[in-house]
């Protein structure tokens, strides 16, 4: 018994302080007497304890309420973040559709100006090998695409079909080393041969005589005499022409009219305009 009282001494004292006012009220409260010295002492001693307990209970309640509110706010924030991500994805998709729509409109406008009916194709693959610079399109023999057909965009010439199967075809780019296309300086009608340099970015200009009128910034177009491209398709802009002190021909580079790294849709010109890919040079697959 003594051990029990010793172990729970503090708890018993607190219980006595809390219970004494209640017992006193129940026994004498109905008679309305004034509290005596002992009542006042117990009330004075128990008031801080009761205040502390009340503050603790209120604090725990507020903490629980705050946690619940914070958790709810966190879940709402996650929902808002997910909704924002979804909206951004939808906006990006709409922007992509708008860009594709603009490109297809340009294709359609170009196609309407042509006599023949071109085949619109999408680029589905790129060959990174420097030995054969090419792209793969999603149209092939089943769509009327044949080997030798020229491929263009509204910006200019792209290349020539060198392989065609059921639903796809490979197009050798103008920048491939095997590519050779007849060209004209648009301003002066000087003839030239445009060849691929193999780096995927530049074109070389050959067979322009030293005395011919060709300047930096001149536009070159297809001559239409090689049986590959129709006449007047834009090839690029002449850059840094040099006239060596000896030799018959000048040296120059051509900045392509088409950014081959960004081509997404192309037009394949009908077979009536095309010839076998051997016309582009030896070594094509």
Side-chain-side CA neighbours of 246 within 13 Å: the count stands at: 0
Tell me how far apart the alpha carbons of residues 223 and 192 are, in angstroms, rounded to a whole number: 9
- Confidence grade of residue 67 (pLDDT, cut at 50, 70, 90): low
Q: What angle do CA 32, 38, 44 make, to 5 degrees?
A: 95
- Confidence grade of residue 103 (pLDDT, cut at 50, 70, 90): low
Tell me how far apart the alpha carbons of residues 98 and 91 are, in angstroms, rounded to a whole number: 10
- Confidence grade of residue 275 (pLDDT, cut at 50, 70, 90): very low
Amino acid 151: pLDDT: 95
Residues in contact with 107: Cβ distance below 8 Å, sequence separation at least 6, in sequence order? 120, 153, 154, 265, 267
Q: What is the CA radius of gyration of the chain?
A: 44
The answer to whether 168 touches 136, Cβ cutoff 8 Å, is yes
> Where do runs of H (alpha helix) occur along 113-154?
none
Lowest mean pLDDT among 86-100, 176-190, 212-226: 86-100
Amino acid 18: pLDDT: 62
Residue 65 has pLDDT above 70, yes or no: no
Beta bridge partners of 195: 180, 204
Amino acid 87: pLDDT: 66
Q: DSSP assignment, residue 278?
A: G
> Where do runs of H (alpha helix) occur along the chain?
2-7, 9-28, 37-112
Lowest mean pLDDT among 95-99, 131-135, 216-220: 95-99
- Confidence grade of residue 52 (pLDDT, cut at 50, 70, 90): low
Q: Of 67-71, 167-171, 226-230, give the range with the top mean pLDDT.
A: 167-171
Mean pLDDT across 65-77:
70
Mean pLDDT across 182-186:
93
Tokens linked to 223: 């001559």
Amino acid 10: pLDDT: 66
Residues 201-242 pLDDT 10s? 889 998 888 889 999 999 999 998 888 888 889 999 999 888
The answer to whether 191 touches 207, Cβ cutoff 8 Å, is yes
**Cα–Cα distance list, 137 to 13, 69, 143 (Å):** 91, 56, 11
Q: DSSP assignment, residue 280?
A: G
Tell me how far apart the alpha carbons of residues 125 and 228 are, in angstroms, rounded to a whole number: 23
Closest CA to 47 of 78, 80, 14, 24: 14
Residue 277 has pLDDT above 60, yes or no: no
Name the CA dihedral angle for 239, 193, 168, 273, rounded to a multiple of 10 degrees.
Answer: 120
Residue 283 has pLDDT above 50, yes or no: no
Q: What long-range pairs does 70-77 form, CB within 8 A, spacing at least 24? A: none
Task: State whether residue 239 is helix, strand or coil.
Answer: strand
Tokens linked to 282: 């030896």
CA 14, chain centre distance (Å): 70
Name the CA dihedral angle for 41, 42, 43, 46, rounded to a multiple of 10 degrees.
Answer: 130
Task: State whether residue 269 is helix, strand or coil.
Answer: coil
Q: DSSP assignment, residue 154?
A: T
Amino acid 280: pLDDT: 39
Mean pLDDT across 95-115:
58
């Amino acid at each position: 018994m003594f051990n029990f009282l010793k172990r729970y001494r503090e708890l018993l004292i607190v219980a006595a302080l809390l219970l004494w006012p209640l017992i006193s009220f129940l026994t004498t409260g109905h008679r309305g007497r004034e509290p005596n010295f002992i009542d006042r002492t117990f009330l004075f001693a128990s008031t801080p304890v009761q205040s502390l307990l009340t503050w603790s209970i209120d604090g725990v309640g507020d903490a629980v309420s705050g946690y619940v509110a914070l958790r709810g706010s966190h879940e709402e924030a996650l929902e808002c973040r997910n909704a924002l991500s979804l909206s951004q994805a939808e906006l990006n998709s709409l922007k992509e559709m708008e860009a594709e729509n603009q490109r297809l409109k340009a294709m359609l406008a170009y196609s309407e100006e042509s006599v023949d009916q071109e085949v619109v194709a999408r680029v589905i693959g790129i060959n990174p090998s420097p030995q054969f610079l090419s792209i793969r399109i999603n149209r092939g023999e089943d769509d009327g695409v044949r080997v030798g057909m020229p491929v263009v965009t509204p910006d200019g010439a792209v290349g020539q079909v060198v392989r065609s199967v059921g639903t796809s075809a490979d197009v050798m780019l103008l920048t491939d080393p095997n590519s050779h296309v007849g060209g004209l300086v648009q301003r002066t009608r000087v003839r030239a041969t445009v060849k691929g340099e193999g780096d995927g970015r530049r074109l070389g200009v050959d067979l322009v005589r030293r005395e011919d009128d060709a300047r930096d910034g001149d536009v070159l177009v297809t001559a239409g005499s090689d049986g590959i491209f129709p006449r007047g398709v834009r090839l690029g802009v002449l850059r840094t022409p040099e006239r060596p002190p000896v030799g018959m021909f000048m040296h120059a580079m051509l900045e392509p009219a088409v950014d081959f790294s960004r081509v997404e849709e192309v037009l394949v010109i009908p077979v009536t305009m095309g010839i076998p890919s051997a016309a582009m040079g030896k070594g094509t697959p």
